[in-house]
Amino acid sequence: MKSIYSFSIRAILLISLLFNAYNKVQAQAQQNTRAQKKQQKLDAVKKMVNNQNYIFMAERANPLGWGTINLNYNYNVVVSKDSVDSYLPYFGRAYVAPINPVDPKETGIQFKSKNFDYNSVLSKRSGWEVIIVPHDVKETRKFILDISEAGYATLSVTSENRQSISFDGYITENVPKKKKAS
């Protein structure tokens, strides 16, 4: 009876040791996977910013003097080497009334610029600060885009005749659309 009891204790100890070792290996593998995913995300964001080819997807608008406004449409800014295409709403005070107040191009921040300056620098908070200054747009003076290593971003927009506004969101890869074959 004593040998069966001691064998059972040894078997239980051995099983618990194996179980603990398995759990440690699994935890280490999971930690390595997280680190690899984080590095892959960092590399992807770095490539997008350096290649000047990404889309800023706006999720929230932060107008001066207002609360945060959640956005539920595909408001975005498409950045490429040859153009900046902005499709954003505007909330806040305009110092000059639009000529056509029902035209979203006059009431929102909507334009396509082919003549712009693009400057990207590493920020102090481990990410990038991108400054875009369009020269062929009458209203918008400057976009300042703070991009984190994880791809989250804040876009600050300064205008000639409006209060500043900022947007929170993320950047994603700008994949060219394939043309449909006829």
Angle (nearest 5°) at CA 52 between 107 and 41: 105
Dihedral angle, C-alpha 46, 50, 51, 57, nearest 10 °: 60
Q: And the tokens for 31?
A: 């930690």
Total-model pTM: 0.73
Average pLDDT over residues 19-43: 74
Give CATH for domain 52-173: 2.40.128.410
| Tens digits of residue pLDDT in 78-102 | 999 999 999 998 888 876 766 666 5
